[in-house]
Structure 1
Amino acid sequence: MTHAVPADDFAPDVAAIAAVIVGVTAFAVAQGLTYPLISLVLEHRGVSQSLIGFNAGCFAGGLATATFAVGWLSRLVRGDRLIVAGLIGCALSLSLFATFDSFWVWCLARFSLGVCVSIIFMLSEAWLNTACPDRLRGRMSGLYGAGMCGGFAAGPLAIPLFGTENGFAFALLAVYVACVAFLTVILSRRARTQPEQAASGALFKFAKSAPMLIVMVAAFAFADIAAISAMPVYFVRLGYSEAFAAISVSVLALPTALAQPLVGWFLDKTSRSGVAVCSGCLAGLSFIAIPFLQSQAAILIAFGIMGAASFSLYTCALTLLGERYNGDTLVAGSAAFALAYAVSSAAGSSTVGAVMDIYSPAAGPIAAGSVVLTLTAVIVAALLRQRLRRAEITS
């Protein structure tokens, strides 16, 4: 079944879409660098995988905290200015990694980084859906996803170039994010639209009305964080170099970035829920296949397929959010997505890390793939229930 385009239509707000994509790319560069780099640095210092997972969980805690504050903040400060403030906060948080070596300072910086990127994440999603018509929604979501994945791919490239021994990579990234904040200010002045304000209590109302979209984001988050946080350590423990572990994250993200515009086309031309189910199945099976592959090339190919498929779940959820909701519900939906991402990413980093500690490195990707397949089964069950309800109504 193809997606039906509604009658209401308008010209896309190009300046707003550009500001959103530029801002979320900076967020992705920061996350793409910090997850593998922090994991590798802490592993090099002899920190246990459980504590590395705890540090990653601090980032997720920051994401969750921001979701409960975004409604209040959006009523006090205009949305585009909040995005700029989030970018500046990211730059300041990254500078802490470059300046201090204390594990607990890094936990605090990781929490602060999570708060700031969550604000960018939520308001950017809402602004994107406000700025584009539904006939282009899948493709614009695909471009948004491509920018995010491109950032994920670019971030880890700083590790082979600058190493893990000093804070130069963090400092360079802080300067880059500050420059993006300045560019976002320029673009936002040319925009015709703004992110909507969130109504009080709208987050939980949205979560009750759209559980399937929440599960899509949760499946993506679990796979995403398991891949960029636990998998670099998995490769190092199997004897691969730190450079290979870092490059694997770029290989994860680059095919994902290239695939998202195509995924967006499928979302506009075919069944959006069908694309989500296929993506979840492919992501889970690719994860499980990794421990059984021998050559580096085969591992990286499976890693790339898994990344493209898992991120497609997020692109599907973002497109369906804009299709089914509007106004202040968009911010509430984006906040619910961020909360689901925070909870599931914390589970992904800590659970997979603990499984690797308790059993073996190979158990990590198998466990991650099994969780993704289970969440995909939940999505399928929800779709079947929807079809049964529609059949009862029409009969």
Structure 2
Amino acid sequence: MTEAAQPRQGRTHYFILIAVVVAAGLSQGLLLPVLAIFLERMGISSSMNGLNAAALYVGSFAMTLVAERLLGLIGFKKLIASGLVLVMLSLLAFPLIPSVAFWFVLRLLVGIGDSALHYAAQLWVLMMSTSKNRGRSISFYGMSYGLGFSIGPLGIPLLKYGEAVPFVVLAVQFLFILIIVLVKLPNIKPEKVEGGDQTSSGRYMRSYRLAWYALLPAFLYGYMEAGMNSNFPVYGLRSGFTLDEISMLLPFVGIGGLLLQLPLGIWSDKFGRKRVLVIAGISGGLCFALIPLAGTNFWATLILLTAAGGLVGSFFSLGLAYAADILPKLLLPAANVVASFHFNVGSIAGPNAGGALMETGWNGGIFFLLGGLYILFGCAGALFKPAADSKL
């Protein structure tokens, strides 16, 4: 990597990567609600609608199994470009055949493409950052995706101009970003692993041994994000909130994350990554655990959701930044795969665990369990001390 020696060029590359992740956020933020609307109009059941949406996580999960090897073979630029092309072509294919089975396959491909470009882009950001600005850099990266995801649904009114219009607009956007990537980014590859841990399993095990605490936040973030989106509407209805109140409350988890993402990243640069993770985990966990006690008080619930989302909304990016602090660069590709694997497992576990708890009649249990996991994570920080040889 030569980014440190060329700061101006490094900044250009960084902002291109930010443009890539904003485009990915926009596509996901618009694609999810538009397809849900189409499936509802087609008379597809809500359970089948949700199952169709889950194809995205299946594709993302599949990509994590080969991402490190692919990156080593073709490099950062080609992996990002491949992801952009796959998503772009899938977007153009959606309006061609309105079929549930066909869309399931296309969502798989979108998940694979998004996972490829995310894996390469966030790893590149980690590797070009220094310990002094890593928290700010990766937090701004995460905030950019969240911003794109939040803006995406604003494109729903494009449907009045034709059902294919949102897909074409997104595809043109991806084409524009693809051209910039192909013209401006160098095609570099991660350094090859030298020494005894050259097998994938060896690198993964060493990453776990040296940075298990830094890799857990990815699971917690996936659990929280997918669990809240899937379970909170059901919790709200059973607790007595109206549909309008639920639709107004849920976005504030993400809004809180956007508000505190960059400040937490900057504070982690200044006060230490582990300290910020511990404090944010315990505080955010307490906020989640207090939500059932707020009952149907709209403003109390809104404040708690915003505070909780803000405190833990940076967990994925801060965890990766902490892993980059304590791991040698040669292990970062493997650690990034582990973090993505954790995120996908958490995304699958969150809705299922919450649904199982509510099935017993204990609706507030989803927040007590979620809060408890974050508090337990914060307390576990006392058990973790980076190994002296972690950077060797």
**TM-score when normalising by structure 2:** 0.81
Q: Mind listing any 5+ residue stretches in structure 1 that lack a counterpart?
A: 1-8, 391-395
Match of 1:383 among 374, 377, 381: 381
Question: Residues 348 and 320 from structure 1, CA distance in 2 versus in 1: closer, same or farther, beyond 3 angstroms?
Answer: same
Which residue does 1:328 correspond to in 2?
330
> For residues 350-365 of structure 1, what are the structure 2 equivalents within 5 Å?
350-352=352-354, 358=359, 363=363
How many angstroms apart in 1 are the aligned matches of 2:319 and 2:236? 31
Question: Residues 305 and 68 from structure 1, CA distance in 2 versus in 1: closer, same or farther, beyond 3 angstroms?
Answer: same
Match of 2:343 among 336, 341, 344: 341
Give 2:129's aligned amino acid: C
1:346-383 Cα deviation digits (max 9, x unpaired): 22244445656x467x93xx454334333324423532
Question: Residues 26 and 301 from structure 1, CA distance in 2 versus in 1: closer, same or farther, beyond 3 angstroms?
Answer: farther
Residue 209, structure 1, aligned to residue 210, structure 2: yes
Question: Residues 78 and 386 from structure 1, CA distance in 2 versus in 1: closer, same or farther, beyond 3 angstroms?
Answer: closer
1:296 CA displacement? 5.4
Which residue does 2:82 correspond to in 1?
85
Question: Residues 84 and 298 from structure 1, CA distance in 2 versus in 1: closer, same or farther, beyond 3 angstroms?
Answer: farther
Q: Is the 8 A contact 1:39 1:233 kept in 2?
A: no
Q: Is the 8 A contact 2:76 2:120 kept in 1?
A: yes
**TM-score when normalising by structure 1:** 0.80
Question: Residues 233 and 40 from structure 1, CA distance in 2 versus in 1: closer, same or farther, beyond 3 angstroms?
Answer: farther
Question: Residues 38 and 347 from structure 1, CA distance in 2 versus in 1: closer, same or farther, beyond 3 angstroms?
Answer: farther
- Is the partner of 1:99 in helix, strand or coil? coil
Q: Mind listing any 5+ residue stretches in structure 2 that lack a counterpart?
A: none
How many angstroms apart in 2 are the aligned matches of 1:300 and 1:159? 25
- Is the partner of 1:379 in helix, strand or coil? helix
Which residue does 1:240 correspond to in 2?
243
Give 1:343's aligned amino acid: V
Q: Is the 8 A contact 1:35 1:229 kept in 2?
A: no
- Is the partner of 1:135 in helix, strand or coil? coil
1:387 CA displacement? 5.6
Question: Residues 16 and 50 from structure 1, CA distance in 2 versus in 1: closer, same or farther, beyond 3 angstroms?
Answer: same
Question: Residues 216 and 45 from structure 1, CA distance in 2 versus in 1: closer, same or farther, beyond 3 angstroms?
Answer: same
How many angstroms apart in 2 are the aligned matches of 1:249 and 1:33? 17
Higher relative contact order (Cα pairs below 8 Å, separated by 6+ residues): 1
- Is the partner of 2:377 in helix, strand or coil? helix
Question: Residues 388 and 323 from structure 1, CA distance in 2 versus in 1: closer, same or farther, beyond 3 angstroms?
Answer: closer
1:197 CA displacement? 5.9
Match of 2:108 among 108, 111, 132: 111
1:173 CA displacement? 2.3
Question: Residues 103 and 66 from structure 1, CA distance in 2 versus in 1: closer, same or farther, beyond 3 angstroms?
Answer: same
Residue 19, structure 1, aligned to residue 16, structure 2: yes
Question: Residues 23 and 228 from structure 1, CA distance in 2 versus in 1: closer, same or farther, beyond 3 angstroms?
Answer: farther
Which residue does 1:5 correspond to in 2?
none
How many angstroms apart in 2 are the aligned matches of 1:257 and 1:227? 16
1:185 CA displacement? 2.5
Which residue does 2:148 correspond to in 1?
151
1:164-216 Cα deviation digits (max 9, x unpaired): x9454344323322322222233314x9x655567640334423432222221
> For residues 1-395 of structure 1, what are the structure 2 equivalents within 5 Å?
12=7, 13-39=10-36, 41-42=38-39, 47-159=44-156, 162=159, 166=163, 168-189=165-186, 195-196=190-191, 200-201=199-200, 202-231=203-232, 239-241=242-244, 245=247, 251-289=252-290, 292=294, 294=296, 299-352=301-354, 358=359, 363=363, 366-386=364-384
How many angstroms apart in 2 are the aligned matches of 1:178 and 1:371? 43
How many angstroms apart in 2 are the aligned matches of 1:374 and 1:329? 31
1:114 CA displacement? 1.4
1:80 CA displacement? 1.4
1:13-69 Cα deviation digits (max 9, x unpaired): 212211221112222222333344445554565555543443343222211111111
Q: Is the 8 A contact 2:291 2:305 kept in 1?
A: yes
Give 1:373's aligned amino acid: G
Give 1:221's aligned amino acid: G
How many angstroms apart in 1 are the aligned matches of 2:158 and 2:354? 28
Give 2:337's aligned amino acid: A
1:100-123 Cα deviation digits (max 9, x unpaired): 332222222222111111111211
- Is the partner of 2:328 in helix, strand or coil? coil
1:137 CA displacement? 0.9
Q: Is the 8 A contact 2:254 2:313 kept in 1?
A: no
Question: Residues 277 and 115 from structure 1, CA distance in 2 versus in 1: closer, same or farther, beyond 3 angstroms?
Answer: same
Identity among equivalent positions (%) equals 24
